[in-house]
Chain A
Amino acid sequence: GAVVSQHPSWVICKSGTSVKIECRSLDFQATTMFWYRQFPKQSLMLMATSNEGSKATYEQGVEKDKFLINHASLTLSTLTVTSAHPEDSSFYICSAPPGRLITDTQYFGPGTRLTVL
């Protein structure tokens, strides 16, 4: 089946630094990718929709200047957490639909654990 990868799988950084997380579709092209954030014992929260060749669409309450999204190619989207703070520590997950058929579902990456000290 379709595979989505994320890199890194975990990262620890100091407060105030920026962290980049990559999301790749390995065997299909994705014009759209989605970024989620998940806190412990909570559900996934959609942060933004990454669109290849255009600006990302952010969900209400998500700071676009804080979470920079770049979808430069049909197989890669990146999420950069700028000036990270401890409250940004979370599990970040990306997903992508492999096609445009009505029965296509999203495939999720394995997630990236971000810890900000």
Chain B
Amino acid sequence: LAKTTQPISMDSYEGQEVNITCSHNNIATNDYITWYQQFPSQGPRFIIQGYKTKVTNEVASLFIPADRKSSTLSLPRVSLSDTAVYYCLVGDPRNTGGFKTIFGAGTRLFVKA
């Protein structure tokens, strides 16, 4: 599984757009990029997943450059409730007969009023 590197923490203010970048230099051809959000004392929650270019859903966008060695999670107009830890994961869901997920350190996002 490809190793990922994210900033340890980020601060933002309500209403701002937040971009969290994740480096995954050793990403393999079949690997997908997945982002999870975790609030204290809760299990992680899926945010978005992509393979290349741009993916957008109702909560976030994921930008992946052509070389796929990094990706950027974009959260539009954050609110206080977006304060959480965000994890970037890279892996091939078809491996190991199940979707073994190895978490990196994550990025602690703190949104201020």
Contact = CB atoms under 8 A, between A and B. Distances in A.
Q: Chain B contact residues: over half helix, strand or loop, or mixed?
A: loop
A46 B103 CA distance: 8
Contacts of A34: 98, 100-101
A44 B42 CA distance: 11
A103 B48 CA distance: 10
Interface stretch (B14-22, B68-76, B89-97): B89-97
Interface residues of A, number: 28
A97 B98 contact: yes
Nearest to A50: B98
Contacts of B43: 4, 6, 93, 95, 108-111
A46 B101 contact: yes
26 contacts: A31-B98, A32-B97, A34-B100, A43-B87, A43-B104, A45-B103, A46-B102, A49-B96, A49-B98, A49-B100, A95-B43, A95-B101, A97-B98, A101-B93, A102-B93, A103-B32, A103-B49, A103-B93, A104-B93, A105-B46, A105-B49, A107-B46, A108-B43, A108-B45, A110-B43, A111-B43
Contacts of A113: 41
